[in-house]
Amino acid sequence: MALSRLDNKHLTAFIPGTIVDVKVKVGQEVKQGDILVILDAMKMHNRIIAPVDSIVKEVNVKPGERVCKGFVMVVLE
């Protein structure tokens, strides 16, 4: 419901784009601010960063892949 905007575990693409780089693997510990994925969109290599300290639960993208808006790229525990 309305709480989805508070969700900081499912990291989604804010706009369609191409995955340039995936910096993490499943099971890896991440610190707040760590770069997880780089998404080429809107003329920018956007850094998708960890909003909190956590462990990577799922990685759903590979470099070169195109993702649609809202696609869940990484899930944190």
Contact residues for other proteins (CB under 8 A)? 1-3, 5-6, 14-15, 40-47, 69
Order of all β-strands in the sheet with 35-41: 44-49, 35-41, 17-22, 66-67
Query: Is the CB of 4 or the CB of 25 nearer to other proteins?
Result: 4
* Number of C-beta neighbours around residue 3 at 10 A: 6
Strand positions, DSSP E, the chain: 10-12, 17-22, 29-30, 35-41, 44-49, 54-59, 66-67, 72-76
Tell the smallest beta-carbon distance from residue 13 to other proteins (Å).
11
- Tell the smallest beta-carbon distance from residue 27 to other proteins (Å): 27
The residue among 5 and 25 lying less far from other proteins, judged by its C-beta, is 5
CB of 34 to other proteins, least distance (A): 14
Nearer to other proteins, 27 or 33 (CB): 33
